[in-house]
Structures are given as structure tokens and as C-alpha cells.
Amino acid sequence: MKVLVTGAAGFVGSAICDALCARGIPVLGLDLRPPRQSWPGLEFVAADLRDQRSLDAALSGRGLTHIIHAAALTPDAAFEEARPDLVLDVNLLGTVRLLQAAKACGIARLLHLSSIAVYGEAAPEADGLYHEDRTHPAPQSLYGIGKRAAELGLRRLAPPTDIAFTVLRLGPIFGLYEHASDSRKVTSPHHQILLAALESRPVVLPRAVPADWCYSRDAAAAIAALLTHDAPLPETVHIGSGQVSDLPEWCAALAAHLPLTWQIDAAAPTIRYGYATDRPALCIDRLRSLVPASHTPLPDAAADWLAHIAHPSKESLS
């Protein structure tokens, strides 16, 4: 097995590279620039999802067997309005180009990272959750629309290539390897709160924001486990924590380690969150039926994250 991870320099892509390399799986990381970290077993190649020739050259002759497609633009509303063409070029057409490049490379399995954003304003099921087999996507943001279109594109285009594909819809992720970038300008509230605490700035939350927040290590571990799963996978699998927590709980977890003052004031928040209302959680029963799904409690996630940023060579938050 040799795995291509696209978006290897990004937040979730970096966490996935770490998880795979820790399991001794050779990884070819693809991005516009190298990851900030290096792991034993990681090789890097620069390529652009907007350029078919770039992708073809990057994948050819590498002995690749599997792909985890984590690369994406995660825009805020201003970015969507300013560059809708770029958002769709990367998130939709970039996926199509990647599949084209994979055709001649002997790829056995493609895991495509999608998002809870494909559900948009869809109503949850009777249990209050989104379900892969029952909840109909109704994306509202351009990001969600592009992600849903990429899912449908794979459904149409992948079968003739004999590449087994699975769509992994990620819930809200936070944690280790998170940083702001050109492709993800607004980070999770958890990351923003941690930065404020480290810089001794007060934290003002827009609201509690309860959600099934998933620590990045847990999400990456689940993705790695699915990649190495022996049996065929369903077309769609949710990746989430299976537990609801909120920002005051995260503040309390950090306050055990750092001086931190916080309050809720919807009129003057210092912490940005891109959704005006809270979203339902993802049902992860399907994930649990396939592989072990771990959940790191917030106090443990805070301790783990802080332990890594205490060593600048390992982790950078900015």
C-alpha cells in the first residue's frame, strides 16, 4: 500500500498524514507547498488541482494504490462572493481532474472527504441527527454545493475506472495541526480561543455553539482505519465524534492549563463562527459498525494539543 494524500499541508490533511505514517503506511503528500511538519514515511510532491498536467505528472510512476482526497478550499462568505470560480474549480473540478489522473495509476480505493455542509438547511431525522441513508442533502453555501456536486460527480465517473470510492462526510473538526491559510482563512472557534488564551486576550463567544465537535486525531484515526478496512465500504460514511460539546466546555478545558477569561456576547464576539444557527449532529452508527471510532474528551484534547505546541518544531498555530 502507498497512499496519496491531497491537501497534505492543510489542517485535516496533515492530521491524516500523521495517522498513516504512525501506522507505517508510506504516504505521498500532495499540495502546493510542503506540510509544516515531517513524518517518517512521508514523501512530498507539489501539484495543483487546477492543472491536469500537474496532477498527471505528480501521480505517474509513484506506485500508488490508494488516495485520500482531503484538498479543498473552505471559504467564508466574503471569499465565496469574491472568487466563486476558484472555489468550484478546486472543490468540484479538482476532484474530477484527480480521478482522471488516478485512472492510469492502479488506484484501488479513493476516499473523498466531503462535509456536513452538504446537508445545508436539511431537517434532521426524528432522533435529531443527520443520517447517510435517509437525510437528503440540501446545501446552501457554495462550499456545500461544490462538495455535493463532487460527490455526485464521483458517483457518475468513478465506476468505469474500477476505482472503489467512498465519500466521507466530516462534521466540525478542531485540534492538532490547525492553522489559518489561504484555503481556510477562518479556523474553528476552538483554535481561535486557544490562540486568544496563549496571547492573554479575553474571549467573547457569539453563543455556546453546541455541536458534535471532533478532535482532529480522532477524525484522522477513523479515516486511516477505513482506508485499511478489508471489506468493501459503503458509498457514504459520516466522520464525527458522536458526542455533543460546546465552546464554554472547551474554555473550561483550556482554563485548567492557561489563564483564560471568557463570556458570551452575541453583539460583540471576538470569536468568529460561520453559521448563524447551530447544526444537527451526524449519526456515526455506520462508522462504528465498520471500524473503532474513538472520542477524545475535551480535557484530554486540550492537554494533547498544548503538549504539541510546547514544542515549536512540532506544531505552529499561526
Residues catalogued as catalytic: 143
Residue 194: its H or E element: helix 189-198
Please give the grid coordinates belonging to residue 221. Answer: 484515526
Phi (first) and psi of residue 209, to 5 degrees:
55, 65
**What is the full DSSP assignment across 198-216?**
HTT--EEESS---B--EEH
Beta carbons of 223 and 216 less than 8 angstroms apart: no
Listed residue (219, 203, 230, 199) closest to 282, CA to CA: 219
Pairing of strands 214-215, 173-174: parallel
Residue 110: its H or E element: strand 109-115
Distance (Å, whole) CA 106 – CA 61: 10
Please give the grid coordinates belonging to residue 172. Answer: 466540525
